[in-house]
């Protein structure tokens, strides 16, 4: 099992849509999703926590695709 945190530094419409599109593409490995509105460096930001399970290759591809998006900070924990 893997847990990842996604910080969307600038929570504008384009950033949210890009993250949403990526998460939808990898929905088969997302078991739990929690979204929280945050503030980061004085600007609106979004924090998404995901519990991933299943195909390790798909999990790795999800992380790589998220990191390609501008303004994304990714952290993970493997259990």
Closest CA to 72 of 4, 3, 2, 25: 4
What stretches of the chain show up as alpha helix (H) in DSSP? 13-25, 56-67
Q: Which position has the token pair 């990191």?
A: 67
Token pair recorded at residue 53: 């399970």
Q: Which domains does the chain possess?
A: 2-78 (3.30.70.1150)
**Dist CA 12 CA 27 (whole Å):** 22
Residue 42: what pLDDT? 74
Residue 44: what pLDDT? 79
**Dist CA 46 CA 19 (whole Å):** 10
Q: What is the mean pLDDT of the chain?
A: 92
Per-residue pLDDT at 61 exceeds 70? yes
């Amino acid at each position: 099992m893997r847990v990842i945190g996604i910080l969307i530094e600038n929570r504008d419409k384009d950033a949210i849509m890009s993250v949403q599109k990526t998460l939808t593409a990898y929905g088969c490995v997302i078991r739990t999703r929690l979204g929280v509105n945050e503030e980061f460096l004085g600007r609106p930001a979004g924090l998404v926590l995901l519990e991933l399970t299943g195909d390790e290759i798909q999990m790795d591809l999800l992380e790589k695709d998220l990191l390609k998006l501008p303004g994304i900070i990714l952290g993970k924990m493997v259990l």
